Chain A
Amino acid sequence: MIWNYKELFIRGIWVTLALTLVGYIGGIMLGLLIGLGKLSKKKWIYYPSKYYVDFFRGTPLLVQILLIHLAVIPTIFGQSLGYFVSGATALMLNCAAYNAEIIRAGIQSIDKGQMEAARSLGMPHKLAMRHIILPQALRRMIPPFGNELIALLKDSSLVTVIAANDLLYAGKIVAGAYNRFWEPYITVAVLYLFLTFLFTRVIAYTEKRFSNSYVPRQRRRMFTFGRPTGGSS
């Protein structure tokens, strides 16, 4: 039964992955801008950023998806641009709000002495942010970004309501065709679990790669070599 529809499920996996990744990457870039906006002292930057986050965190994603698909996009473009554009846009805008908070908190967690040192060396604020603060802050953001990725993967199932043929949609089709619910939805659940498992592994690897020490592995070895005072292992 499920096997007959395997292509639908495989396509569902790709659609789910594509929606998640497009939404996520767009969400990080937009989130960075909004996160920095929330740290701005300029009111005309701060307040729009704040209201953006308040709106997208304060309203259900499902409502946002419907609003964008049925109201915003048809109004701007005069027609629907398809479920993918609407879905990815909604996920991106929503994800950006959460990422903005992660980015704001990450930046604020960096000791203020870092910014002071950079500024005292004559670096303008932007330059210091880019070369000194963000590289350090981004590392600290990796675990919450990982959570966000997995949350987004699961939330992407909501685009089913605008008839996106994602993973959940495949399950619904099969359920409708056979009027059975256990098999299709268990399959969907297992496939989501499989995807989140994959993501978890990637995140764990990334976390490990960027945690603890700033010292690159090879170079560390070079320094403990023959000079015990050089490295603090």
Chain B
Amino acid sequence: MIKIENLYKSFGDLEVLKGIDYEVKEKEVICVIGPSGSGKSTFLRCINLLEEITAGSVYIDGVKVNDPNTDINEVRKEVGMVFQQFNLFPHMNVLDNITISPRKVKGMNPTEAEELAIQLLEKVGLKDKAKAYPEQLSGGQMQRVAIARALAMQPKIMLFDEPTSALDPEMVKEVLDVMKQLAFEGMTMVVVTHEMGFAREVGDRIIFMDQGYIVEEGTPEDIFVHAKNERTKAFLSKVL
């Protein structure tokens, strides 16, 4: 479903990704772990081309994302993204946050979009907040709205960029629960996370990244129990 070939990314002289190859299959949940600055987020952001790719290719459903002839907006309709800082639109209420993209991008009629939004809010447990503004919500609620907003485009793939890192500890669970439910329903997900418990429980495969490389990859058991690489072991010994 997602195929990444020999992906390089540099910011000026700084090489952040140094040749990444990976393939994500349909309905898989991939968790990307690793120390700060290892390139996890950049890796994720290259998938929907929020970062320009320096070299290599990313294919989604066989379409080369970084081909100049590819309409990136078409690709992004299929790929939802959730950010660490939520990035809700503060000037719109929750309902408008969710419906704006289906309405303006897909041309969905407003009633239909609203019904979809209510459905999604129900799913993330925030039906009563439809008319609230982002500033009236807690971090956990904002992130759940952000998930609903991404789902409103009915994407095939969801990318999560440290979705719980900016949350107060007591709000982490409500967000992870929504993500778990999503994984359970068969969504293809790539999750950059520091939540090892979540990665272990929900991830089908775990990627350990360090210094721009995928150091080790495997099932949660392969990584968390039988890690082979010294760097993986060292990292896990610090965070587990």
A: residues with CB less than 8 A from B are 111, 113-114, 116-124, 127, 131-132, 135-136, 139, 213-215, 219-220, 222-223, 227, 230-232
Inter-chain contact B135/A123, CB cutoff 8 Å: no
B116 part of interface (Cβ distance < 8 Å): no
Q: How far is the CA of A117 from the CA of B79 in the complex (A)?
A: 12
Chain B residues with Cβ below 8 Å from A230 are 128-129, 132, 136
Q: How far is the CA of A123 from the CA of B149 in the complex (A)?
A: 13
Chain B residues with Cβ below 8 Å from A121 are 76, 80, 100-101, 105, 149-150, 153
Question: Which of A116, A118, A131, A215 lies in contact with B135, CB distance below 8 A?
Answer: A215
Pick the interface stretch among B17-25, B84-92, B181-189, B208-216: B84-92
Chain A: CB-nearest residue to B88: A117
Q: How far is the CA of A215 from the CA of B134 in the complex (A)?
A: 9
Q: How far is the CA of A213 from the CA of B74 in the complex (A)?
A: 34
With A127-B105, A214-B135, A215-B135: A136-B91 Cβ-Cβ less than 8 Å: yes
Chain B residues with Cβ below 8 Å from A220 are 136
Q: In the complex, how many angstroms separate the beta carbon of A118 from the nearest chain B beta carbon?
A: 8
Inter-chain contact B89/A219, CB cutoff 8 Å: no
With A117-B83, A124-B73: A214-B133 Cβ-Cβ less than 8 Å: yes
Q: In the complex, how many angstroms separate the beta carbon of A23 from the nearest chain B beta carbon?
A: 29
The 7 lowest CB-CB distance pairs between A and B, nearest first, are A117-B87, A121-B101, A120-B81, A122-B77, A113-B87, A122-B76, A215-B133
Chain B: CB-nearest residue to A116: B50
Inter-chain contact A232/B136, CB cutoff 8 Å: yes
Q: How far is the CA of A136 from the CA of B89 in the complex (A)?
A: 9
Question: Which of B83, B101, B133, B146 lies in contact with A123, CB distance below 8 A?
Answer: B101
Inter-chain contact B131/A219, CB cutoff 8 Å: yes
Q: How far is the CA of A65 from the CA of B149 in the complex (A)?
A: 51
Chain B residues with Cβ below 8 Å from A122 are 73-74, 76-77, 101, 105-106, 153
Inter-chain contact B76/A113, CB cutoff 8 Å: no
Q: How far is the CA of A136 from the CA of B133 in the complex (A)?
A: 14
B104 part of interface (Cβ distance < 8 Å): yes
Q: List 8 A-B contacts (CB under 8 A).
A: A117-B81, A120-B83, A136-B89, A214-B90, A214-B133, A214-B135, A230-B128, A231-B132
Chain B residues with Cβ below 8 Å from A231 are 132, 136
Chain B: CB-nearest residue to A120: B81
With A119-B50, A122-B76, A122-B77: A223-B89 Cβ-Cβ less than 8 Å: no
Question: Which of B83, B132, B134 lies in contact with A223, CB distance below 8 A?
Answer: B132
